[in-house]
A = this chain, B = another copy of it.
Amino acid sequence: MTESGKPILYSYFRSSCSWRVRIALALKGIDYETMPINLIKDGGQQFSKEFQALNPTRQVPALEIDGITISQSLAIIEYLEETRPTPRLLPQDPKKRARVRMISDLIAGGIHPLQNLSVLKQVGQENQLTWAQNAITSGFNSLEQILQSTAGQYCVGDEVSMADLCLVPQVANAERFKVDLTPYPTISRINKTLLALEAFQVSHPCRQPDTPAELRA
């Protein structure tokens, strides 16, 4: 934490996992400081000795809060939910909570890891786009079908939940990798509704302290 006791978020403007946490912090009104970790510059600042000591996974996001450092975006969000429960990001009903976690895990564990920067590096530049598109469309085929039975205004019913925090950054990645979103009307509709909310806007990659000038909006 900073001297003033504010949590510190180690974040990269374009990291979709960091964006998930930034949305949670914004929705819950938690004041924090951003410590940018540039995943490209200097061969990747996440590999510095200082950062590795803080977060052995060498990934963003990591959140220093309440005297501990937590990595993994969903673990961070669950911690925030347990210690700062208002407004809630998980419904009260266990069955609905299961749906929220199922969708969150599908995106965070089933889609995103396969199109993450570190994996795309291994795939080789000429195969990256196809690889990422396959990972996303395969996941979105499942997700669209699931959402058709769980969604209201948002991913699960009419309350913004952790699942929505995963959806919006994943759709942004899909757009970045030029995935045709026409077959996913439910995903597209929910994404558009969410992007109109202030918490999703202030946390957006184009509005972070480390966003390069040419990408700012």
Interface residues of A (CB under 8 A from B): 56-59, 66, 68, 70-76, 78-79, 82-83, 94-95, 97-99, 101-102, 104-106, 108-110, 112-114, 119, 122, 131, 134, 141-143, 145-146
Contacts and interface: CB of A to CB of B under 8 A. Distances in A.
A166 to B, nearest CB: 11
Contacts of A75: 98, 101-102, 104-105
Nearest to A100: B75
Contacts of A114: 113-114, 119
Nearest to A53: B145
Contacts of A143: 56
Contacts of A113: 109-110, 113-114
B142 A106 contact: no
B142 A58 contact: yes
Contacts of A58: 142
A78 B101 contact: yes
B56 A145 contact: yes
Nearest to A131: B122
A128 to B, nearest CB: 13
B79 A97 contact: yes
A131 B66 CA distance: 38
B78 A97 contact: yes
A75 B76 CA distance: 16
